[in-house]
Amino acid sequence: MKGGFLSHVTGKVFVRTGIENVELRIHRAFFDGTPGDGTDLAGVDLLHCHVGDWEDWLTAYRYRVEKGSYRAELSPALPRTLGGATLHELFTLLEEEEGKTGLRRFYDEVCADTPSLRERLSGRDLLLHRPLDLAGAISKQFPTWQNCVPDRDN
């Protein structure tokens, strides 16, 4: 997995409001038809929730294999000369050999938020924990939208 991500490492789009002639696409903004050159935001933690529970992952799986971040034409995380394979190849093999059970095994090992996974990530200094206080953030930015405040802080 590139950079340890099940998804992709391609940038995310942040654009100031009020700029005219902006076209937002999935990984880039275009200004008057010209792609933005981007800025490296080293030191900025970005939350990306690629997957929720097993049912959420399985629902998104087919699309991701055909058109998304698991599609066949994407390159492997490691060069092929070092044994690299794409996520598409991995999932195809798992599904051919073990069916839905193999996909579930992968999800449980790599995606499920468990104490074991958190411990493994922490042991490699790959786990960042950032309490989000979503209710506080929404209340601050949208004080009249009290009915939209989530009931959890993480």
Per residue, what are the HEC states of the chain?
CHHHCCCCCCCCCCCCCCCCCEEECCCCEEECCEECCCCCCCCCCCCCCCCCCHHHHHHHHHHHHHCCCCCCCCCCCCCHHHCCCCHHHHHHHHHHHHCHHHHHHHHHHHHCCCHHHHHHHHHCCCCCCCCCCHHHHHHHHCCCCHHHCCCCCC
Per-residue pLDDT, averaged over 42-70, amounts to: 84
Structural domain includes residue 65: yes
Confidence of residue 131 (pLDDT cuts 50, 70, 90): confident
Structural domain includes residue 126: no
Each residue of 76-110: pLDDT tens digit?
Answer: 888 889 988 888 999 999 999 999 999 999 999 88
Q: What pLDDT does residue 15 have?
A: 85
Q: What pLDDT does residue 16 have?
A: 84
Per-residue pLDDT, averaged over 29-40, amounts to: 86
Structural domain includes residue 145: no
Each residue of 58-75: pLDDT tens digit?
Answer: 998 989 999 888 899 988
Confidence of residue 154 (pLDDT cuts 50, 70, 90): very low
Segments forming the whole domain that contains residue 97: 2-112
Number of domains in the chain: 1
Per-residue pLDDT, averaged over 14-39, amounts to: 86
Structural domain includes residue 139: no
Q: What pLDDT does residue 32 have?
A: 93
Structural domain includes residue 154: no
